[in-house]
Amino acid sequence: MDIFLQQLVNGLVLGSIYALVALGYTMVYGILGLINFAHGDICMIGALTALTVAQTLAAMGLPLPLVLLLSVLAAVLVCIALGVSIERVAYRPLRHAPRLAPLITAIGVSILLQYSAALIWGKQYFSMPELVKPSEIALAGVHLTDLQVFIFILACTVMAGLLWFIRSSRMGRAMRATEQNPEVAGLMGVDVNRVIAFTFLLGSAIGAVAGVMVVLYYGIGHYFMGFMLGLKAFTAAVLGGIGNVAGAMLGGLLLGVIESLAAGYIGDLTGGVLGSNYRDIFAFLVLILVLVFRPSGIMGQHTGDRA
């Protein structure tokens, strides 16, 4: 039983990371109807930026909490700048082009970011200095670290904050108006360009934080880490109903738990025919089933032209 609980905890933490990344996907999709494939790579840039800053500052002997704060700050700033300029350069000129065009550009931007990172940082694996010394919590046979708890709480907080922001703030109202009809929103005095730029700003900032969490949690980063992360987060967003903030959170957690349990029990269930290296099959199998039986995702509304 404690093994099962431990797998559940593993899955929830992994899922929280997916959820953090998925929030960025879903927000941009919700407003623009654009799948920003470069989002996973923005997380990667954030992660590597934080890693570099942390390595440099930790080597200078600064106190670790300060190093952590500064690296998160640096990552967020770099990603915001990156996200907003990508929107300006690669997506805005194509806003009225056929749907396929910005999608292709997004893939292009993703590849561009990956190989720019390969040029800047090189292709090897980097190890993150241990900024937070995770202290262990043992609960009913389950091993937890405070970092894991923090990641879970952070994901929940970001989601709740985002929900509140979109529902209650002035900018949130503008975002919802833009989502429903950009032209009419523009006629009503909403600066559509600014709203969309802000969406990218917010999404990239959350992405940066997600990237930092990944390197903090796993302790390593490399230029290609954004690809699989992005793909999984995208799956999570679709699973939960893309465009729906709470759905992204739910989808992320669900995907994490499915993966974790599949890796843990697939071998026993199939009598050793399939090994734990087949766990991704289960994750994507769930995606296919959801798309077949509920194409709009678990929490998504059926909107016809989207999803």
What is the DSSP annotation of the chain? -HHHHHHHHHHHHHHHHHHHHHHHHHHHHHHH----TTHHHHHHHHHHHHHHHHHHHHHHT--HHHHHHHHHHHHHHHHHHHHHHHIIIIIGGGTTS-THHHHHHHHHHHHHHHHHHHHHH-SS-EEPP--S-PPEEEETTEEEEHHHHHHHHHHHHHHHHHHHHHHHSHHHHHHHHHHH-HHHHHHTT--HHHHHHHHHHHHHHHHHHHHHHHHHHHSEE-TTHHHHHHHHHHHHHHHH-TT-HHHHHHHHHHHHHHHHHHHHHHHHHTTTSS-GGGHHHHHHHHHHHHHHH-TT-SSPPP-SS--
Size of the residue set binding another protein (CB under 8 A): 47
For 277, counting Cβ atoms within 10 Å of its Cβ (0-12 exposed, 13-18 middle, 19+ buried), the class is exposed
301 contacts 180 by C-beta, under 8 angstroms: no
Q: Counting contacts by CB under 8 A, is residue 11 touching another protein?
A: yes
Name the minimum Å distance from CB 152 to another protein. Answer: 14
Name the minimum Å distance from CB 67 to another protein. Answer: 16
**Residues 115-144 contacting another protein, CB under 8 A:** 118, 122-125, 127, 130, 134, 136, 138, 143
Q: Counting contacts by CB under 8 A, is residue 198 touching another protein?
A: no
* Per-position x/- string for 230-269, each x denoting binding to another protein as judged by CB under 8 A, each - no binding: ----x---x---x----------------xxxxxxx-x--
Name the minimum Å distance from CB 164 to another protein. Answer: 27
Q: Counting contacts by CB under 8 A, is residue 220 touching another protein?
A: yes
Name the minimum Å distance from CB 7 to another protein. Answer: 5
Q: Counting contacts by CB under 8 A, is residue 52 touching another protein?
A: no
Q: Counting contacts by CB under 8 A, is residue 7 touching another protein?
A: yes
How many other CB atoms are found less than 10 A from the CB of residue 208? 29
Name the minimum Å distance from CB 170 to another protein. Answer: 30
Which residue, 13 or 206, is less far from another protein as judged by CB?
Answer: 13
* CA 177 to each of CA 32, 43, 159, 184: distance values in angstroms, whole numbers, following the listed order: 11, 28, 20, 8
**Residues 275-294 contacting another protein, CB under 8 A:** 275-277, 279, 291
Q: Counting contacts by CB under 8 A, is residue 186 touching another protein?
A: no
Which residue, 26 or 205, is less far from another protein as judged by CB?
Answer: 26
Which residue, 127 or 169, is less far from another protein as judged by CB?
Answer: 127
Name the minimum Å distance from CB 273 to another protein. Answer: 12
Q: Counting contacts by CB under 8 A, is residue 179 touching another protein?
A: no
**Residues 74-103 contacting another protein, CB under 8 A:** 103
Q: Counting contacts by CB under 8 A, is residue 189 touching another protein?
A: no
Contact residues: another protein, CB under 8 A: 3, 6-7, 10-11, 13-14, 35, 37, 103-104, 107, 118, 122-125, 127, 130, 134, 136, 138, 143, 145, 218-220, 222, 228, 234, 238, 242, 259-265, 267, 272, 275-277, 279, 291, 307
